[in-house]
Amino acid sequence: MSTLVFLEHHEGELQKDSLGVLGKAAQLGGEVSALIAGSGVERLASQAGRFGAAKVYVADDPALEAPLPQPRVDVSADLVRRYGFDTVLFGATVLTADVAAGLAARLDAGLNWDLVDLTQENGKLVGKRPALDDTVYVDVGWKSEPRLALIRTGTFEPVESGGDAEVEQAEVQLEEFSTQAKMIEQAHEESEGPSIEDADVIVAGGRGLGGPENFALVEELAKALGGAVAATRAVVDAGWYPYAAQVGQTGKTVSPKLYIALGISGAIQHKVGMQGSGTIVAINKDANAPIFDFADLGVVGDLAQIAPKLTELLKARS
């Protein structure tokens, strides 16, 4: 197998998910290379070596400064054609989903997305992905090479394997049509505390909060625990909280040590995004809520009464 892993980076750091995918590729064996595309990104190459890449191609060019997909498709397609990679892996993000789709079209290659595992079976690469609203897992394969795959967020933890990678500059030759889109503006949401992908503690709020103003209860509790705030799709769809905080099938997959669910029913589509949490605590006024079937600790009661008391106790302790 000869694998190219597309490494996503943000604010001068390689993304944790990309590094997890790189580590998985190294475990699967064969030759593993990585591609880092951007402007001023050369110094990130050594990090990729530590996480399993034997070779790192660096496409460092001002034309790759903006996080636009088509120039990245050009660079990736050129590498695949030049060096004959049979597998190209991506940790799923908004940008990599576009790059992977563009690359699949450009190379007329098969793309399996939303994978939650990759294995070798009788010398063949097999992907695993959830289906039927995440109620079953199905094995998926590819009919041709190169095989392209997008791996679901939070699937593989990065594992340091300690090696030094050979670094090579990748040629940046862009198609005219790839340079037609321009980034007009980029805005970053200001946030305090850890992100939900990295947090050891997550406090999540659902429709049981009753209204957006009551997210203050979730935020206060998260703050007292040094944790991050998450939300269900119901409240994101209602505009109570931003999509970036959504956990579940169509949101993020998280695995904190502690997950506290406030006013969340525990629908399967939410469960699949947080079932990997160490300890799950649920506060819900309905004793028959499905979340109690998989919570480690359940409190039947009104969150408006319980959450502030919990926050108060935690503050008093610290």
Ligand X SMILES: Cc1cc2nc3c(=O)[nH]c(=O)nc-3n(C[C@H](O)[C@H](O)[C@H](O)COP(=O)(O)OP(=O)(O)OC[C@H]3O[C@@H](n4cnc5c(N)ncnc54)[C@H](O)[C@@H]3O)c2cc1C
* Position 264 contacts ligand X (CB under 6 A): yes
* Position 289 contacts ligand X (CB under 6 A): yes
* Position 270 contacts ligand X (CB under 6 A): yes
Contact map string, positions 49 to 68, toward ligand X, x by CB under 6 A: --------------------
- Tokens for 209, please give them: 């909060």
Closest CB 213 distance from ligand X, rounded Å: 14
SS3 132: coil
Closest CB 16 distance from ligand X, rounded Å: 20
Locus of tokens 């996480």? 51
Instruction: Provide the pairing of β-strand 124-131 with 136-140.
Output: antiparallel
For the beta carbon of residue 263, count every other beta carbon within 10 angstroms.
28
245 vs 236: CA distance, rounded Å? 8
Looking at the Cβ atoms of 115 and 289, the one nearer to ligand X is 289
* Position 217 contacts ligand X (CB under 6 A): no
* Position 271 contacts ligand X (CB under 6 A): no
146 vs 46: CA distance, rounded Å? 26
* Position 234 contacts ligand X (CB under 6 A): yes
For the beta carbon of residue 177, count every other beta carbon within 10 angstroms.
9
* Position 129 contacts ligand X (CB under 6 A): no
Stretch that binds ligand X, among 28-36, 39-47, 108-116, 280-288 (CB under 6 A): 280-288
| Residue 52 CA, distance from chain mean position | 19
316 vs 163: CA distance, rounded Å? 47
Stretch that binds ligand X, among 10-18, 51-59, 177-185, 243-251 (CB under 6 A): 243-251
Looking at the Cβ atoms of 49 and 206, the one nearer to ligand X is 206
For the beta carbon of residue 106, count every other beta carbon within 10 angstroms.
17
The residues binding ligand X (CB under 6 A) are 133, 206-208, 232-235, 246, 248-251, 263-265, 267, 269-270, 273, 283-286, 289, 302-304
